[in-house]
Amino acid sequence: MTTNKILVIDDSRVIRKTVRDMLPEGDFEVIEAKDGLEGIDFIEKERPALIMLDFILPKMSGWDVFQQIQSNPDYQKIPLVLMSGKKEEVTSKISEPFEYFEFIEKPFDRVVLAEAIRVAMVKVRKARPRIADLSGSISNVSESQVSSDEIAQLQAQILEMQANTNAEIQELQSQLIAANRSQHAELQDLAAKFEAAQQAKSTEHQATIKKVIQLETEVDVLKKQLGQLIVLIKKKLA
């Protein structure tokens, strides 16, 4: 069975352990990175199914790591939860609303973390703006500076470049569709396993509470019986 890798990038050992303990037990492998450079290295090598990123980091800041993730089409497909002790640290660099990732403010609890992961998985599937048409970036050339033949040659080169670009775009779109289908299936699998683990935890917790209530009831009954026994013994001794 495939193990889903969750990468936690935070310079605080306490935070990394807290996140690890809050994640449900199951098919999850938690990878810990203590600085931005180590985090980028793990993203490249491990290709995690989820990234939890602290915004303030040594060696390479969380902001720099975030920019690298957003500039790489492959990394963009990974659900991202950004963490910080102060939200204004993030909003000073990234304007709200946070369209493609989720943010949680430290400290947080298990419920907040679970919801942030769920929302991050939804946001990562949002379509991003397309790159502008390449033909719009071509500068106009004055006819007085070049001959008609040179203009015709330039136009032919532009048409050839556009044809090649269209073919490349179609190929990339095909690859993107295939990759999105695969990524979507993986995200659904991760979400299903996360939800199943949460439900198992909840069922176990409810069973424990029920057992505690039952034991308390039995103890109360024993106390009552003991009290009656003491009264009976006193009467006999009298």
Taking all residues of the chain, what is their mean pLDDT, rounded to a whole number?
80
Backbone angles phi, psi at 204, to 5 degrees: -60, -40
**Residue 147, helix vs strand vs coil:** coil
Whether residue 118 sits in one domain with residue 9: yes
pTM, entire model: 0.54
- Write out the E strands in 43-123: 50-54, 80-84, 102-105
pLDDT surpasses 50 at 27: yes
* Domain, as residue range, for 10: 4-123
pLDDT digits (tens, 9 = 90+) for 220-229: 888 888 888 8
Cα–Cα distances in angstroms (integers) from residue 183 to residues 52, 106, 116, 195, 199, in the given order: 18, 29, 19, 18, 24
Please give the pLDDT value at position 103: 95
Six token digits for residue 20? 């690890």
Whether residue 177 sits in one domain with residue 110: no
| pLDDT tier at 54, thresholds 50, 70, 90 | very high
Nearest to 69 by CA among 84, 51, 55: 51
Please give the pLDDT value at position 96: 87
The CATH code of the domain that includes 20 is 3.40.50.2300
pLDDT, mean of residues 75-93? 92
Query: Domain end: 123, 157, 179, which one?
Result: 123
pLDDT digits (tens, 9 = 90+) for 110-148: 889 888 888 998 998 888 775 443 344 334 434 333 345
Return the higher-pLDDT residue of 75 and 139.
75
**Residue 186, helix vs strand vs coil:** helix
DSSP character at residue 137: G
